[in-house]
Amino acid sequence: MIEKILPFVQKYKELGEKMCDPNVIADLAQYTKIAKEHSALSEYNDLYEKYEKAKAKLDSAVAVLGESTDAELSEMAQVEKDEASAEIERLEDEARIMLLPKDKNDDNSVYIEVRPAAGGDEASLFGAELFNMYRRYADKKGWKVEVIEYSETEVGGLKEGVMLVDGVGAYRALKWESGVHRVQRVPETESQGRVHTSTVTVAVLPEVEESDVDINDKDLRIDTYRAGGHGGQGVNTTDSAIRITHLPTGIVVTCQDERSQIKNKDRAMKILRAKLEDMARQKAINENAQQRKSQVGTGDRSERIRTYNFPQDRVTDHRIGLSLHSINNFMQGDIDEMLDALHKEEVRLKLENFA
The CATH number of whichever domain residue 314 belongs to comes to 3.30.70.1660
pLDDT at 231: 43
pLDDT at 228: 60
Do 188 and 164 fall within a single domain?
yes
Distant-in-sequence, close-in-space partners of 33: CB < 8 Å, separation ≥ 6: none
Where on the phi/psi map is residue 217: left (φ > 0), alpha (ψ -120 to 50), or beta? Answer: alpha
> Angle, nearest 10°, between helix axes 71-98 and 336-354?
80
pTM value is 0.71
pLDDT at 267: 84
Distant-in-sequence, close-in-space partners of 48: CB < 8 Å, separation ≥ 6: 2, 5, 6, 9
Query: In this structure, how many other beta carbons lie within 10 angstroms of the beta carbon of residue 209?
Result: 11
pLDDT at 155: 87
Domain that holds residue 93: 2-98
Do 204 and 322 fall within a single domain?
yes
Q: Report yes or no on 105 lying in a domain.
A: no
Q: Which residues of the chain have pLDDT under 70?
A: 189, 191, 211, 226-239, 257-259, 284-302, 354-355
pLDDT at 232: 41
Q: Report yes or no on 289 lying in a domain.
A: no
Closest by Cα among 275, 238, 273, 270 to 255: 270
Q: Report yes or no on 319 lying in a domain.
A: yes
Do 124 and 38 fall within a single domain?
no
Boundary-marking domain end, from 237, 252, 284: 284
Three-class secondary structure of residue 309 per DSSP: strand
Q: Round to whole Å and give the CA distance between 190 and 154.
A: 17
Boundary-marking domain end, from 257, 284, 311: 284
Q: Report yes or no on 104 lying in a domain.
A: no
Do 143 and 196 fall within a single domain?
yes
The total of structural domains in the chain comes to 3
Query: In this structure, how many other beta carbons lie within 10 angstroms of the beta carbon of residue 133?
Result: 20
pLDDT at 256: 78
